[in-house]
Structure 1
Amino acid sequence: MPQEKSKVTIYDVAARAGVAISTVSRVLNNSDDVSDRTRARVLRAIEELQFRPDRTAKTLAQQATQLLAVAMPTFTTPFHTELMKGIRTCLRERDVDLLLCDLGSTKRHLTLMNFLRRGTVDGLLLAGVDVTEAIAQELQALHAPVVLIGSEWESFDSFYWDDVAGARQAVEHLIEQGHRRIGMITTATGSPLQNRRIQGYREALEAAGLPFDPSLLASGFTEKHAGYSEEAGYEAMQTLLQVDPPLTAVFASSDVQAIGAWKAIIDAGKKVPDDIALVGYDDIKTSTYIGLTSIAQDMQAIGQRATEVLLERMEGKRTTPPEAVLVVPKLQVRRSSRRTR
């Protein structure tokens, strides 16, 4: 009778096959330094014992492990899905194990600290978290390369977006289309990212001689994904539809909010863009198909570039000081904001 899987170790396999544990480890890592006869004996022992190697067993014969961790607030929003596509593209042909850490929308700093303290990894991609001094100290204690996405810290390589410039482009476009009453969909909970986009919105208005009116900012009450959801966008748009005098354009902090807002506009018997022009943020794939004007952040390419840098650090191919890359988003104009009258 085979032993229970949870109790079977590399030592059990070595004893069953009559070899040293280093030989078992070489078989597990597909080393050529094992005879065919010995390899067959070890594989037979593994099968008989129903052994499933853990990470320690798998890497006994390796100079270093290759465990790359990705920590994000969520893996299910279109924004983060696009980042993951870029990461997966980079890892597709690499012999690297991927560990995912879902930080959640709330208490993400605490979740990250707990994750970091559970054990070391060989490299970490950290996305969507504003790094503090305390987090920076924990990251440095990893003694492993770290690449930040969406934030910046001088001790680590980072890729981050100019959110002020992105929001400014969105609102400048609406002003160029002749709009003077422009609302903005935000999130109920403030954040540095949200504050930067509000700043860009305000700068564009004031540069055009238009007043910044806080009453034209609205958010939904749905908390899912920290307010970056279709539901929250729908709720915020319902509020903006009550503004008097009426708005003629709306800038949403994300494409998913803009999609929810679009439905609210239609449900109110109005048309996009004839009655209300609409601009989103992120430029997810869906936006291309429905004709939503958006601010493109090129998340997939950034995910791939960040992973390439991390792998180069892990492999010792990149030894230069950490580099901060500022990415300027680009406006993609589509039918949701083009004037038709």
Structure 2
Amino acid sequence: MDSRPADPMSTATTASTAATIRHRSVAPEEADIRLDRWFRRHFPRLTQGALQKMLRTGQVRVDGRRAEASTRLRPGQQIRIPPLPEGPPTEAQRGAPRPVSPEDARLLERMVLYRDDSVIALNKPYGLAVQGGPGLTRHLDAMLGALRFGHAERPRLVHRLDRDTSGVLLLARGAAAASKLAAAFRGRDAEKTYWAVVVGRPSPESGRIDLPLAKQPGPRGERTTPAEGGTRAITDYRVLDAAQRRAAWLELRPLTGRTHQLRVHCARGLGTPILGDGKYGGAAAQIEGLPPLLHLHARALRLPHPEGGMLEVAAPLPPHMEQTFAFLGFDRPRAPPPRRTPR
């Protein structure tokens, strides 16, 4: 306890400032959201520049620690909120979802792999961002109102995929389902299976990559790199097929969920970058005659269903990976139908 006497000249100012500092908990359905997007959602009048200044000066903190705009949040964390601009936001600042065009509504409905009263599973296409960001106005989160299917609430994101990663993406239809699904992802009860086409052929053809990772700033944006003092990242892998030493089809099972984990583990852990991954593989990630697009697909997801039992969902390959599989002579197995089974 601080027993120093208060400065009478500053008492009023200190009391006024303290009165406007707030703390708010991260909700279960906000798991894995970026800190700047969390502020944009709750305080739409706050500009990105003002937030960056508050972060640099330590006015905004997460669980008492300094944080960055890109910090991913976990449910239950405490956000320190300094005094912010007062007054109601404008219509644009409120961030109210724009009406979804009929074309986008039809696109989203075609993406649905499975739905019930608690869950919707989508097959997210390559190139569609899950959440917004600077200069990004078209993203899945802004269009979820088209997937109510008679519910009063729009579905909620409980995890995410990178813009250029295709495949199974799960949505929750309500706060209770979101809380349970987010807990499954945090507690590693969700079994995730990815398919990737890599340039080269790993040796050995199956194993575990245990390579810690850290985020590093760079002239072209943030990158994830191997680092001795980084956060532990683990991926199990196996070769499902190969075209001599030219390329291989891998099954990847991440046991942790670090940013760009699979891309870095393939490029730096195995020495076989994912086809089309210019960020982590450069020119070595290209094969002449094949699409220069990222060949990473969230093939399947198995996790506890919010209402009991286990839910298993698989997604068919995106068109560019179908083309590559045909070119390389790989089998193209059909995605099994979704199913919900007892534990």
Q: TM-score, length-normalised on structure 1?
A: 0.26
Q: TM-score, length-normalised on structure 2?
A: 0.25
Structure with the higher strand share, 1 or 2: 2
Higher relative contact order (CA 8 A, sep 6+): 1
- Select the structure of larger CA radius of gyration: 1
Structure with the higher helix share, 1 or 2: 1
